[in-house]
A and B are shown apart, each in its own frame.
Chain A
Amino acid sequence: MKSVNLVTPIAREEVTKLDAGDVVYISGVVYTARDMAHLRLKRLLANKESLPEDFEGGVIFHAGPVVKKDDGSWRIWVIGPTTSARMEPYADMVGKLGVRAIVGKGGMGESTIKSLAEYGGVYLLAAPGCGVIHSRAVKKVLRVHWLEEMGVPEAIWVMEVSNWGPLVVGMDTHGQSIFKDIAQKATALKEEWFPA
C-alpha cells in the first residue's frame, strides 16, 4: 500500500501506477457531478453540443454541497460523497471524457471496472458522512454550472482543492475492486450459512 499525491490535470500514467488499497491526496481542480449533471452531459454529447468544461485529466466528485454566499461569492460550507452506484450507467461516457479519478462512496460496478481499465482511471473512496472534514480541503469555488436549472445539489461546482484526502483507491486500472472482493467473500459466507 502506498500513498500518492496527485495534481490536476492528472496524466494517465500516474493513475495506472495505483493499486486498489492505495491512498491518494488530490490538489487542483475538482468538478462535482451527480445524476442530473451526468444526464445532461450525456444529452449534450448525443446532440454534439459543447460541454461546459474539459474533463480530460480531471477529477469528478459525486457530491452535492451545502453552500453559502458571502459578499457575492460562493463558499462550500460542507461537502461529502454521495452514493456512486447511481452514476454507473454513465461509466463509459466518463471514461471517454478522460476523467482520471472518480471520487465517491459505496463503490461502483462492472461497467466502471471496464471503463477504468479501458480509458485509464481510478475510483476513490471518500469517507462517507464526513462533510465537515472534506470541506476543509476546498480552497475556493472557481465557478458553477447549471445552478439555476438543477439546484444546489445537482449543479456542477468547480472547486479548487488542496491536499484533499486520504482517499482510498477502491477500484484501479487493473480490474481490481475492493468492493467486488468484499461482496464475493460475503456471498460465499451467505451460501455457507444458507445452503440451497
Chain B
Amino acid sequence: MSVSSQDAFSKPLLRERVSSLLRERVATTISPDVMRLMKKARAEETSSSAREMLNTQIENVVMAQEQGKPVCQSPGFPTAYIRYGGCVNISELAEVLREEIVSATKDGFLRPSMVHPLTRKNTGDNSGIGVPNIELEHDASLDFLEVIISFKGCGAELGNAMRIFTPAQIGEDAAGIKEFVIDTVIKAGGKPCPPFAIGIGIGGQMDVAAKLSRRAVSIRKWTDRNPDPGLAAMETELLTMINQLGIGPGGIGGKTTALAVKIGMSHTHTAICPVAVNFYCWVARRAGMRIYPDGRTQYPFDEEASP
C-alpha cells in the first residue's frame, strides 16, 4: 500500500467526497442517464398533457439544481453499493455514510423520513437501525473504490410485487412471467411516479430475486443494454408493452409510462422460479463515484463516462 493510496481513502477525504456526492449529485438532481431519457420521452410524447407533465418534471430538476434544493421532498430509502479491492477501511466508510446522511438532513437536503417500522416514531435525522442499507462487494482485482448512493423512492415501493413461479406457470416464452410484470404495472398505475423504471429479479430464492430486482434498477445505467441477449430482448419487449398501456407520466395518460426495464438473473432450483418486480420512480436520486489510489475520481453515471 502506497502512501498516496492511504491518502485517497483516508476518512477526511472520504467524508468530503461522500458529502459532495450526497448534496450535489444525489439530493438535488437526478441521474444524468435518466435525464437524457426524460428529454427523449418529452420529444417523443404525443399526448399534450403528458408532454406538459414531462416538461414540468424536467423543469423541476433544473430548478432544484439551480437553487440547491432537494429535487423531491421525499428522499426515499438509502442504499450504498460499495465495490472495493483493498486498502479501504470499510468500517470508516460506513461511519462516514451514516454521519453524512444525518448532516445532509440537518442542512435541508434530505427530509427526515426514517421511522421505527412498528411504532412509526421518526428518528428526526435519517439515522436508524440498518440505515443506510450498505451492500459490499469485494473484488481483489479492483484498483478503485466505488460508492453508489441510491435514495429509492418509497411511493414506488408500494407497487412492488413478488411471486414464486412453478415451471408450468412460467409458460411458453416466459409468457406467465411477462403477464405478471404487466399485471403488476397496471395495478401500480400512477403510484410509482411514472415514468418509472422497473427492475426484475429472476432466480435464486425469494430474497435473492428481490435483491436482484433492486440492484438491477439501482446500479445499472437506465440507458445500458443487458449483456445477455435473451434478457436484453425481454427487457425491450416488456418496455414496449408497458409503454402501450397508456398510464403515462404521473398516471394521467400518455405513452411514456416506463423509461427502462432492467432484469437481473441468477440460476435457481429446478422446482421454482422466483420473480420480483421493483419500481424506481423517475426522480432517480442516485449517483456513484470511483476513487482511485492516486486520488482521481470518476462518476460512472455521467454521460461521457464509461461504462
Task: Please report A residues at the B interface, Cβ cutoff 8 Å.
Answer: 36, 63-66, 68, 77-80, 82-83, 85-86, 105-107, 125, 127-133, 135, 150-154, 168, 170, 178-179, 182-183, 185-187, 189-190, 193-194
Contact = CB atoms under 8 A, between A and B. Distances in A.
A131 B28 CA distance: 11
Given A83-B155, A151-B112, A187-B186, A133 B179 contact: no
B67 A106 contact: no
B70 A66 contact: yes
Interface stretch (B206-214, B228-236, B238-246, B295-303): B238-246
B108 interface: yes
Interface of B: 49, 53, 56-57, 59-60, 63-64, 67, 69-74, 108, 110-113, 115, 120-122, 124, 153, 155, 158, 175, 178-179, 182-183, 186, 189-193, 241, 244-248, 250-253, 281-283
A106 B73 CA distance: 16
Nearest to A62: B155
Contacts of B251: 105-107, 125, 179, 182
A193 B241 contact: yes
Contacts of A179: 189-190, 251
A183 B194 CA distance: 14
Given A65-B111, A131-B70, A182-B253, A189 B122 contact: no
Contacts of B246: 182, 185-186, 189
A125 B120 CA distance: 27
* A83, A129, A190, most chain B CB atoms within 10 A: A129
Contact of A80 (B53, B73, B112, B244): B73
A151 B123 CA distance: 8
A127 B122 contact: no
Nearest to B67: A132
A152 B246 CA distance: 35
Given A128-B155, A194-B182, 11 more contacts: A64-B73, A66-B70, A106-B189, A107-B251, A125-B250, A129-B60, A131-B69, A132-B69, A132-B71, A151-B124, A153-B113
* B59, B113, B189, B190, most chain A CB atoms within 10 A: B190
3 A-B pairs closest in CB distance: A151-B122, A83-B155, A106-B191
A66 B72 CA distance: 9
A175 to B, nearest CB: 18
Contacts of B191: 83, 85, 105-107
B186 A130 contact: no
B189 A183 contact: yes
Contact of A153 (B53, B60, B112, B182): B112
B73 A65 contact: yes
Given A107-B189, A151-B124, A183-B186, A129 B71 contact: yes
Contacts of A66: 69-70, 73, 108, 110-111
Contacts of B193: 105-106, 128-129
Contacts of B282: 128-129
27 contacts: A64-B111, A65-B73, A66-B111, A77-B108, A78-B72, A80-B72, A82-B155, A85-B158, A85-B191, A107-B191, A127-B56, A128-B281, A129-B57, A129-B283, A130-B56, A131-B71, A132-B60, A132-B64, A152-B122, A154-B122, A182-B189, A182-B253, A186-B245, A186-B247, A189-B244, A189-B246, A190-B245
Given A77-B69, A106-B251, A186-B246, A129 B281 contact: yes
Nearest to B191: A106
A63 B113 CA distance: 12
Contacts of A190: 179, 182-183, 186, 245
Nearest to B283: A129
A36 B120 contact: yes
Contacts of A135: 69
Contact of B178 (A83, A132, A189, A194): A194
Contacts of A132: 60, 63-64, 67, 69-71
B155 A106 contact: yes
A186 B241 CA distance: 10
Contacts of B281: 128-129
Given A179-B251, A189-B244, A193-B182, A131 B190 contact: no
Nearest to A180: B189
Nearest to B250: A128
Contacts of B57: 127-130
A124 to B, nearest CB: 11
A131 B70 CA distance: 8
